[in-house]
Amino acid sequence: MARIDLVPGDSEETERLFRWAPHVSGPASALSWAVYDKSRLPVRLRELMRMRIAQINQCHV
């Protein structure tokens, strides 16, 4: 759940977020593609890294 105000609506949070800043959606999509589609790391290792980073940043996992 986002901690910022989003455009009202029933669509996904990501979609509503990019309505506030449409110029960010292209670069964010490119980053996601690079991290998830072009990664050489196994999925399990990537998810473990995400969990550890969340722990370090004191985020709930």
- Cβ–Cβ < 8 Å for 12, 25: no
In a domain, 51, yes or no: yes
Number of domains present in the structure of the chain: 1
Q: CA dihedral in degrees (26, 28, 31, 33; nearest 10)?
A: -70
In a domain, 45, yes or no: yes
Q: Residue 61 pLDDT more than 90? A: no
Q: Residue 1 pLDDT more than 70? A: no
In a domain, 35, yes or no: yes
pTM for the predicted model, two decimal places = 0.48
Q: CA-CA distances (angstroms) from residue 37 to 53, 60, 61?
A: 20, 26, 23
In a domain, 3, yes or no: no
In a domain, 5, yes or no: no
- Cβ–Cβ < 8 Å for 7, 19: yes
Q: Residue 20 pLDDT more than 90? A: no
In a domain, 8, yes or no: no
Parent domain of 17: 13-56
In a domain, 6, yes or no: no
